[in-house]
Amino acid sequence: MKQARMILDKDFTIGSVDKRIFGSFIEHLGRAVYGGIYEPGHPTADKLGFRQDVAKLVRDLQVPIIRYPGGNFVSGFNWEDSVGPRSQRPKRLDLAWFTTETNQVGMHEFLDWASQVKAETMYAVNLGTRGADAARNVVEYANHPGGSYYSDLRIQNGAKDPFGIKLWCLGNEMDGPWQIGHKTAYEYGRLANETAKVMKWVDPTIELVACGSSALDMPTFGAWEREMLEECYDNIEYVSLHRYYGNRTANTPDFLARSMDMDAFIKSVAAICDAVGGRRHSKKKLGLSFDEWNVWYHSSEQDKEIQKKDKWGPALPLLEDIYNFEDALLVGSMLVTLLRNADRVKIACLAQLVNVIAPIMTRNGGGAWAQTIYWPFMHASLYGRGTALRPIVESPVYDCTDYEAVPLLDATATLSPEGDVTIFAVNRDLKEPLELSADLRAFGKLQVAEHIVLHHDDVNAINTEEAPNTVAPVTKVDGTMDDGKLSISIPALSWNVIRLKKI
Ligand code: AHR
């Protein structure tokens, strides 16, 4: 029997969990908006055209913040196209994804939808083809009460009250050669700084995210962060990180270890931020915004065909990864990694939310269902709030192609304001359960309220419209509590949420 040990103490904490780490992302890309959240004529559509079956699945995730409108899309986007009478909005070629954007869902419509699903919006400005002028104008449009050109235009367009968007991204992946308006770190840093200044002069209450590297393996990684931060450190609050993983070699042990790369990425960016801050004698500590993370690889070949066949088609079915069971396990480990770094990561966005590399899938005119990755994301969002605890974990380890000493048990825990403890754990062992013994004596009397387990015998199992519950969590009450010590079995290859209630 393989054994693992965990020690938790209420005084050993990482920090309070910023609920925005359970954010997500909707880009004007593929069927995320058109055919995803919005489908007028669908049997569940409301009078604005928003699918209520999708809205319910989103609400159930309790996503506190949604990044919008891109992504690569934003680097060629004119925000002005997306406001005003719909019949007069232009159709534009989208050079990021080689499709056509109709602008039928724009800023007002999206913000209406976001409030339906009880989420704030994190709005990205275009620093690809545009710059400080368009950015200050969109802040004035969205946040200024009235009495100026753009704020009065918003009122004329039907929104008397300001939208009050608090969090803004200064462009997207500006380090990537694929980006419309790709820049060097110095060019971007200067532009980000000048844009940040004028955006904050319009609304000093906003917070800003500067673009870090679009992946850890970018050749410019590290130098990019350092050089651009030298230019804009004083005027921004967060640096972004993006990371996607795939199991291209069908090597599950390797794939499940990828969260170690995510952890290293976070630690490296935090260190670079602090080095720049230190050199500048700054008292300010930057936060991290992991505003794109997920598994993304299943749809890559199919997308090439779609784009070859139907270039410039609107709402093409792009990036429609169908997630399997092992993807859900890695997503679980990535959530554990975000919680373990809750002192530094203040915002994170599962990329994306509907149809495009998403936990929620839809069929045009048909159903909406939860993919495998929906479940760990929902559990972490619902039960991972409060204080992130700093556990001591002892686990057997394994070696694989890319990593050494990978713990079989990937686990962390949170403490709610009510004194309840939740343990999140992935067992990476392909075959054997782990017998976990957790020392919880510091928390007083606790009892196992539920043990949620996500497991399937086949790592390739998927959910479909016809069989949406193939990979779905089961809830049991098991394990024993003896004098503050929990003994519980963590099944082979599984995602676990152990909810311990204070009694
Ligand atoms: O999320 C899909 C794409 O991935 C985004 O548009 C881009 O920012 C990233 O490369």
H-helix segments, 368-463: 374-383
Which residues pair with residue 13 across a beta bridge? 389
Residue of minimum CA distance from atom 4 in ligand 1 = 71
CB 27 within 8 A of CB 71: yes
Report the predicted TM-score, pTM, of the whole model to 2 decimal places.
0.97
Query: Atom 8 in ligand 1: which residue has the minimum CA distance?
Result: 71
Q: Please tell me the distance from the alpha carbon of residue 287 to that of residue 349, in angstroms, as a whole number.
A: 14
Residues with Cβ within 8 Å of residue 168, at least 6 apart in sequence: 122, 123, 124, 125, 139, 199, 206, 207, 208, 209
Q: Which two tokens stand for residue 170?
A: 């200064």
Is 292 in the active site? yes
- Asked about 207 being catalytic, the answer comes back as no
Peptide bond into 69 cis (omega under 30): yes
Query: Which pLDDT does position 140 carry in this prediction?
Result: 98
Strands 345-351 and 23-25: parallel
Strands (E), 223-376: 238-245, 287-295, 345-351, 360-362, 368-370
State how far the Cα of 449 lies from the Cα of 476, in Å rounded to an integer. 9
pLDDT at 307: 87
d(CA 32, CA 308): 20
pLDDT of residue 394: 97
Indicate which atom in ligand 1 lies nearest the CA of residue 244: 4
Cα distances (angstroms) measured from residue 457 to each of 291, 333, 474: 32, 19, 14
Q: Which of 282, 125, 137, 121 is nearest to 198 (CA)?
A: 137
pLDDT at 134: 98
Query: Can you read off the two tokens belonging to residue 283?
Result: 């008292």
For ligand 1, residues with CB inside 6 Å are: 27, 70-72, 172-173, 214, 292, 351-352
- Per-residue confidence of the chain (503 residues) as pLDDT tens digits? 999 999 999 999 999 999 999 999 999 999 999 999 999 999 999 999 999 999 999 999 999 999 999 999 999 999 999 999 999 999 999 999 999 999 999 999 999 999 999 999 999 999 999 999 999 999 999 999 999 999 999 999 999 999 999 999 999 999 999 999 999 999 999 999 999 999 999 999 999 999 999 999 999 999 999 999 999 999 999 999 999 999 999 999 999 999 999 999 999 999 999 999 999 999 999 999 999 999 999 999 999 999 889 989 999 999 999 999 999 999 999 999 999 999 999 999 999 999 999 999 999 999 999 999 999 999 999 999 999 999 999 999 999 999 999 999 999 999 999 999 999 999 999 999 999 999 999 999 999 999 999 999 999 999 999 999 999 999 999 999 999 999 999 999 999 999 999 99
- Region for 160 from its dihedrals, namely left if φ exceeds 0, alpha if ψ lies in -120 to 50, beta otherwise: alpha
Q: How far is the CA of 151 from the centre of ligand 1 (A)?
A: 30
Largest Cα separation within the chain, whole Å, is 71
| Domains located in the chain, CATH noted | 13-388 (3.20.20.80)
